[in-house]
Structure 1
Amino acid sequence: MNGRQKPVEYFATQIEAEIYQADYNKLHFYRSLPGHQITLAELYHRWLPAHTANTAPSQSTLDSYNNSFKHLSPLQYEPFQSLKYADYQKILDSMRKSGLSYSSLKKVRSLISLLEKYALKIELINKCYAPLLSIGKNKAVRPHHPFSRQKINRLWAHINDPGVDTVLILLYTGMRVGEMLALQKNDVNLRQGYIRITKSKTVSGIRTIPIHHRIYPLIVSRIKSLGPNLVSDSEGRPYDYSRYCQLWRNVMHSIKANSHTTHDCRHTVATLLDNAGANETAKRRILGHAGGDVTERVYTHKGIRQLRKCIELLK
């Protein structure tokens, strides 16, 4: 070989290289590398592909795992077997002191739990600390409140401003913002006048929403825009949640409604439908809430008519 070594494989990160090296050694030499200990980072990168293959999580869930793992970065090169309750709790306590939300702490604890269950499965550990970890009490930072009729009218008055149509789409469908951003144009049936939600954070979220007559022209305009996504920028690029939030803030500033969050749109739809005496079952189906004994059988022609009657109660 003239002293030259032939590369076996190339990797983007050190963690990927270490995993490959460990597996290669086991496959070809039937033993682990001398002194090799699986770190938190290695375990995470082994667990994630297996978990993804088994559960097919949404992109938002994968992003959540990645963000939670970043919070655990001070421990990533520690041998997983050596990590104890105090190590994890210190991370969570630091997050609380930094002012991070209860939800963020809960997601990190959930990731720790998932990693520990995987470590149990591969017989790396025999004890789990996640159930013992404390994340404090959930305190609502700000209660959700519906958009007033005046603010909704202001949105219609600013309909030609960038992004205003997306807020109105949320206010006349009850979609979660993540559901809207995930919509493909082929999820929209203009002829029969409905939107099919195929990606949602819950099973109940997979549903059909009739298109309200007021936003029908907005949907048609979006269908004619560039890109495969229903909601995209002027160049046809889809929005991720972070970039959409900037668009949202611009719209809220233009109608003097800076205190509103995206979830207030769903709260508005629920409140307005309640006030209009909407059928409870139809309202649940539109919002994608679990409850009752409604199944996919509701999507008969009669079911769609009932849902359309419900959505048209929004003025």
Structure 2
Amino acid sequence: MSLRIARLGGRALCEDLGRPGHAHLGITGSGAADRASLRRANALVGNRPGAAGIEIVGTLEVWAEAGVMIALAGAQTRAATVLAAGERMSVPFPQRGLRTYLAVRGGLATARTLGSAATDTLSGLGPAPLRAGDVLAVGRDLGDLRTVGDGAGDGAGATDGAGDDTAGGTPLPGPLLMLSVHPGPRADWAEDLGVLFAGEYRVGEESDRVGTRLAGAPLARARAGDAGELPSEGLVRGSVQLPPSGLPVIFGADHPVTGGYPVIAVLTGAAADALAQARPGQAVRFRRTGAW
């Protein structure tokens, strides 16, 4: 069985849950930017949570060369639906949110690098970005088909859940997105960390899978610029870095493994998923979680 990319308006990548455990080789985990939504899409078609699917920013149309079961989660949601041979399905541009995940029963059968089919846009590891005309083989990365009935329909003829914010795994951002953060290892580099929690920021235009740049009130550094920067330290997904500009940068799925600017906070996993659905211009605020 296979799927053909009939039309593409935007960007589509092959993503699973990534390749963790290789930071010592300079390789980040990568994988789906919104992990909860990929897991949700896979659950709807009875796959393992980490089966490879398509991460879509924009629009997409697929054509089934044989009968397949498909589900969407994230910015667009749809209960598991069977496409007959020759049938097409379109993924429209979402009214809210940014990334949609398309899962097909059995997952995508594609080449793996270090055990993962994830496309890492920073290093270039993994499959190339998808293009119109690409034919994607379907594998057998199956879980329990009983999960298809997980509150969102159970097969052909199921209703479209596009209006349900919670059906897609990650609640879609409203007018203001609250991001929960743990203290970072270099929180003391901010002169007044309260500024981070008192102000409102907006997602910048120059944001991608590597990182999200924020615009808003800058944080002053507690250490003078002539003291130099830190030696490079390890980074994780969700790290909130404080560059000399004072405007926070939040690292995403394809972040570098090290960086020299201080990490003053780290997003929770759920907050990192939520940020992956934020469009440029989205208002965000930070809130403390854990011990500060």
Computing the radius of gyration from Cα coordinates, the structure with the larger value is 1
Whether TM-score is above 0.5 comes out as no
The structure that is helix-richer by fraction is 1
TM range (shorter): under 0.3
In proportion to residue count, which structure has more strand? 2
- TM-score normalised by length of structure 1: 0.21
